[in-house]
Amino acid sequence: MDSVAAAQVRDAARTGTPRIGVLALQGDVREHFAAIEHCGATPVNVRRAAELDAVDALILPGGESTAISKLLEVFELLEPLRARLRDGMPAFGSCAGMILLASEVLDTRPDAKHLYGIDMTVRRNAFGRQVDSFETDLDFAGLDDAPVRAVFIRAPLVERVGPGVEVLATIPSGPFAGRIVAVRQGNVLATSFHPEVTGDLRVHELFVDLVRGR
Protein backbone atom coordinates (compact mmCIF):
# COMPACT_ATOMS: atom_id res chain seq x y z
CA MET A 1 0.00 0.00 0.00
CA ASP A 2 1.42 3.43 -0.91
CA SER A 3 1.69 6.27 1.61
CA VAL A 4 -1.37 8.16 0.32
CA ALA A 5 -3.59 5.06 0.47
CA ALA A 6 -2.32 4.18 3.94
CA ALA A 7 -3.03 7.71 5.18
CA GLN A 8 -6.59 7.49 3.80
CA VAL A 9 -7.20 4.23 5.65
CA ARG A 10 -5.83 5.70 8.90
CA ASP A 11 -8.06 8.77 8.50
CA ALA A 12 -11.11 6.55 7.98
CA ALA A 13 -10.26 4.57 11.10
CA ARG A 14 -10.00 7.77 13.17
CA THR A 15 -13.28 9.24 11.93
CA GLY A 16 -15.24 6.00 12.06
CA THR A 17 -16.25 6.43 8.41
CA PRO A 18 -15.32 3.29 6.49
CA ARG A 19 -14.10 3.51 2.90
CA ILE A 20 -16.11 0.94 0.97
CA GLY A 21 -14.98 0.11 -2.54
CA VAL A 22 -17.31 -0.75 -5.40
CA LEU A 23 -15.71 -2.98 -8.02
CA ALA A 24 -16.07 -0.70 -11.05
CA LEU A 25 -15.29 -3.01 -13.96
CA GLN A 26 -18.81 -3.77 -15.24
CA GLY A 27 -22.39 -3.79 -13.94
CA ASP A 28 -24.56 -1.55 -11.75
CA VAL A 29 -21.71 0.30 -10.06
CA ARG A 30 -23.42 3.70 -9.77
CA GLU A 31 -26.41 2.34 -7.83
CA HIS A 32 -24.21 0.68 -5.17
CA PHE A 33 -22.02 3.79 -4.99
CA ALA A 34 -25.06 5.96 -4.22
CA ALA A 35 -26.45 3.48 -1.66
CA ILE A 36 -23.18 3.34 0.26
CA GLU A 37 -22.97 7.13 0.30
CA HIS A 38 -26.53 7.37 1.67
CA CYS A 39 -25.55 4.93 4.43
CA GLY A 40 -22.83 7.27 5.72
CA ALA A 41 -19.77 5.46 4.38
CA THR A 42 -17.28 6.75 1.80
CA PRO A 43 -17.70 4.95 -1.54
CA VAL A 44 -14.65 4.43 -3.75
CA ASN A 45 -14.50 3.07 -7.30
CA VAL A 46 -12.03 0.17 -7.45
CA ARG A 47 -10.33 -0.75 -10.73
CA ARG A 48 -6.70 -1.20 -9.65
CA ALA A 49 -4.85 -3.09 -6.94
CA ALA A 50 -3.74 0.16 -5.28
CA GLU A 51 -7.38 1.25 -5.00
CA LEU A 52 -8.28 -2.12 -3.49
CA ASP A 53 -5.50 -1.68 -0.93
CA ALA A 54 -6.99 1.66 0.13
CA VAL A 55 -10.49 0.43 1.10
CA ASP A 56 -11.84 -1.28 4.20
CA ALA A 57 -14.38 -3.42 2.33
CA LEU A 58 -15.63 -4.13 -1.19
CA ILE A 59 -18.96 -4.48 -3.00
CA LEU A 60 -19.13 -6.70 -6.08
CA PRO A 61 -22.11 -5.46 -8.12
CA GLY A 62 -24.57 -7.20 -10.37
CA GLY A 63 -23.70 -7.46 -14.04
CA GLU A 64 -22.29 -10.30 -16.12
CA SER A 65 -20.23 -12.59 -13.93
CA THR A 66 -18.04 -14.12 -16.64
CA ALA A 67 -17.24 -10.67 -18.08
CA ILE A 68 -16.32 -9.37 -14.62
CA SER A 69 -14.15 -12.42 -13.93
CA LYS A 70 -12.21 -11.83 -17.16
CA LEU A 71 -11.79 -8.15 -16.33
CA LEU A 72 -10.45 -9.06 -12.89
CA GLU A 73 -7.59 -10.80 -14.70
CA VAL A 74 -7.11 -8.01 -17.25
CA PHE A 75 -6.85 -5.40 -14.48
CA GLU A 76 -4.64 -7.72 -12.37
CA LEU A 77 -7.16 -7.74 -9.52
CA LEU A 78 -8.03 -11.44 -9.27
CA GLU A 79 -5.23 -12.60 -6.98
CA PRO A 80 -5.07 -9.38 -4.89
CA LEU A 81 -8.82 -9.66 -4.28
CA ARG A 82 -8.58 -13.33 -3.33
CA ALA A 83 -5.78 -12.42 -0.92
CA ARG A 84 -7.80 -9.61 0.71
CA LEU A 85 -10.74 -11.96 1.17
CA ARG A 86 -8.49 -14.60 2.74
CA ASP A 87 -7.21 -11.90 5.10
CA GLY A 88 -10.75 -11.14 6.28
CA MET A 89 -11.79 -8.10 4.23
CA PRO A 90 -15.58 -7.62 4.40
CA ALA A 91 -17.33 -7.99 1.06
CA PHE A 92 -20.86 -7.90 -0.33
CA GLY A 93 -21.87 -9.37 -3.67
CA SER A 94 -25.26 -8.94 -5.36
CA CYS A 95 -26.37 -11.23 -8.22
CA ALA A 96 -23.20 -11.55 -10.34
CA GLY A 97 -21.26 -10.57 -7.22
CA MET A 98 -22.72 -13.58 -5.41
CA ILE A 99 -21.53 -15.83 -8.25
CA LEU A 100 -18.02 -14.36 -8.07
CA LEU A 101 -17.85 -14.89 -4.30
CA ALA A 102 -18.81 -18.58 -4.49
CA SER A 103 -16.45 -21.49 -3.98
CA GLU A 104 -18.21 -23.44 -6.75
CA VAL A 105 -20.31 -22.25 -9.71
CA LEU A 106 -22.61 -24.42 -11.83
CA ASP A 107 -23.68 -23.68 -15.42
CA THR A 108 -20.80 -21.33 -16.09
CA ARG A 109 -18.01 -21.16 -18.66
CA PRO A 110 -15.01 -23.41 -17.97
CA ASP A 111 -12.67 -20.40 -18.06
CA ALA A 112 -14.70 -18.30 -15.59
CA LYS A 113 -12.93 -17.40 -12.34
CA HIS A 114 -14.36 -17.06 -8.86
CA LEU A 115 -13.08 -15.84 -5.52
CA TYR A 116 -13.80 -18.53 -2.88
CA GLY A 117 -15.19 -15.88 -0.52
CA ILE A 118 -18.12 -18.01 0.72
CA ASP A 119 -18.29 -21.80 1.04
CA MET A 120 -21.28 -22.32 -1.26
CA THR A 121 -22.31 -23.73 -4.61
CA VAL A 122 -24.17 -21.28 -6.85
CA ARG A 123 -26.06 -21.92 -10.09
CA ARG A 124 -25.98 -19.13 -12.67
CA ASN A 125 -29.24 -17.93 -14.30
CA ALA A 126 -31.16 -20.38 -12.12
CA PHE A 127 -34.53 -18.66 -12.60
CA GLY A 128 -34.30 -18.48 -16.39
CA ARG A 129 -33.72 -15.74 -18.95
CA GLN A 130 -34.18 -11.97 -18.72
CA VAL A 131 -37.91 -12.32 -19.45
CA ASP A 132 -38.24 -14.49 -16.34
CA SER A 133 -37.10 -11.66 -14.04
CA PHE A 134 -39.45 -11.04 -11.12
CA GLU A 135 -39.93 -9.33 -7.75
CA THR A 136 -41.03 -10.74 -4.41
CA ASP A 137 -40.99 -9.90 -0.69
CA LEU A 138 -38.47 -11.73 1.50
CA ASP A 139 -38.08 -12.21 5.21
CA PHE A 140 -34.41 -11.32 5.74
CA ALA A 141 -32.61 -12.36 8.94
CA GLY A 142 -31.58 -9.31 10.95
CA LEU A 143 -34.05 -7.01 9.17
CA ASP A 144 -37.20 -7.68 11.19
CA ASP A 145 -39.15 -4.44 10.75
CA ALA A 146 -40.56 -5.28 7.30
CA PRO A 147 -39.94 -7.69 4.41
CA VAL A 148 -37.29 -6.82 1.83
CA ARG A 149 -38.56 -6.21 -1.70
CA ALA A 150 -36.23 -8.30 -3.84
CA VAL A 151 -35.64 -7.82 -7.58
CA PHE A 152 -34.33 -10.90 -9.40
CA ILE A 153 -32.78 -10.35 -12.86
CA ARG A 154 -31.20 -13.45 -14.46
CA ALA A 155 -30.38 -14.31 -10.88
CA PRO A 156 -28.39 -17.18 -9.36
CA LEU A 157 -29.55 -19.59 -6.68
CA VAL A 158 -27.52 -21.10 -3.86
CA GLU A 159 -27.57 -24.88 -4.23
CA ARG A 160 -25.35 -25.73 -1.24
CA VAL A 161 -23.89 -23.96 1.77
CA GLY A 162 -21.01 -25.04 3.95
CA PRO A 163 -21.25 -25.46 7.73
CA GLY A 164 -19.99 -21.93 8.44
CA VAL A 165 -22.53 -20.20 6.20
CA GLU A 166 -25.66 -18.51 7.61
CA VAL A 167 -28.78 -18.49 5.41
CA LEU A 168 -30.35 -15.02 5.54
CA ALA A 169 -33.28 -15.37 3.12
CA THR A 170 -35.15 -17.92 1.04
CA ILE A 171 -37.87 -17.66 -1.62
CA PRO A 172 -41.20 -17.71 0.29
CA SER A 173 -43.54 -19.33 -2.25
CA GLY A 174 -44.01 -20.60 -5.79
CA PRO A 175 -41.92 -23.13 -7.72
CA PHE A 176 -38.70 -21.97 -6.04
CA ALA A 177 -40.08 -21.89 -2.48
CA GLY A 178 -37.42 -22.51 0.14
CA ARG A 179 -34.48 -21.91 -2.20
CA ILE A 180 -31.62 -19.87 -0.75
CA VAL A 181 -31.10 -16.32 -2.07
CA ALA A 182 -29.07 -14.56 0.65
CA VAL A 183 -26.18 -15.78 2.78
CA ARG A 184 -23.40 -14.64 5.07
CA GLN A 185 -20.12 -16.20 6.09
CA GLY A 186 -18.16 -14.14 8.59
CA ASN A 187 -17.51 -10.74 7.03
CA VAL A 188 -18.84 -11.71 3.58
CA LEU A 189 -22.46 -11.18 2.52
CA ALA A 190 -24.15 -12.15 -0.75
CA THR A 191 -27.63 -11.84 -2.28
CA SER A 192 -29.10 -13.30 -5.47
CA PHE A 193 -31.15 -10.14 -5.89
CA HIS A 194 -30.40 -6.44 -6.41
CA PRO A 195 -31.04 -4.40 -3.22
CA GLU A 196 -29.39 -1.38 -4.86
CA VAL A 197 -32.30 -0.81 -7.29
CA THR A 198 -35.28 -0.57 -4.94
CA GLY A 199 -34.45 2.43 -2.73
CA ASP A 200 -34.57 0.20 0.37
CA LEU A 201 -31.13 0.72 1.92
CA ARG A 202 -31.41 -1.79 4.77
CA VAL A 203 -29.19 -4.47 3.21
CA HIS A 204 -26.51 -1.86 2.52
CA GLU A 205 -26.92 -0.51 6.06
CA LEU A 206 -26.46 -4.04 7.39
CA PHE A 207 -23.23 -4.33 5.40
CA VAL A 208 -21.93 -0.93 6.51
CA ASP A 209 -22.67 -1.88 10.14
CA LEU A 210 -20.79 -5.14 9.59
CA VAL A 211 -17.77 -3.20 8.29
CA ARG A 212 -17.88 -0.78 11.23
CA GLY A 213 -18.24 -3.65 13.68
CA ARG A 214 -15.21 -5.40 12.31
pLDDT in tens, 93-121: 999 999 999 999 998 888 888 999 999 99
Q: What is the pLDDT of residues 28-87, one digit of tens each?
A: 899 999 999 999 999 999 999 999 999 999 999 998 999 999 999 999 999 999 999 999
154 marked as part of a ligand binding site: yes
pLDDT value for 111:
85
Return d(Cα 209, Cα 214) in angstroms, integer: 9
Residue 128: count other Cβ atoms within 10 Å of its Cβ.
Answer: 12
63 marked as part of a ligand binding site: yes
Domains held by the chain: number = 1
Catalytic residue selected from 95, 159, 166, 204: 95
Question: Considering the chain, what percentage of its residues have pLDDT values greater than 90?
Answer: 77
pLDDT surpasses 80 at 8: no
Catalytic residue selected from 31, 32, 114, 196: 196
Q: Confirm whether 159 is a catalytic residue.
A: no
103 marked as part of a ligand binding site: no
DSSP 113-172: -----EEEEEETTTT-SGGG-EEEEEEETTEEEEEEEEEESS--EEEEE-TTPEEEEE--
124 marked as part of a ligand binding site: yes
CATH code of 82's domain: 3.40.50.880
**Closest of 195, 128, 125, 129 to residue 156, by C-alpha:** 125
What predicted TM-score, i.e. pTM, was given to this entire model?
0.89
Q: Confirm whether 39 is a catalytic residue.
A: no
Range of the domain at 178: 2-212
Chain-centroid distance of CA 29 in Å reads 11
Q: Worst-scoring range by mean pLDDT, 26-30, 191-195, 206-210?
A: 26-30
Q: What is the pLDDT of residues 127-171, one digit of tens each?
A: 876 656 789 999 999 998 899 999 998 899 999 999 999 999 999
Q: What 3-state DSSP class applies to 58?
A: strand
Residue 174: count other Cβ atoms within 10 Å of its Cβ.
Answer: 9
- CB contact set of 84 (below 8 Å; sequence gap of 6+): 52, 58
Q: Confirm whether 194 is a catalytic residue.
A: yes
pLDDT value for 1:
46
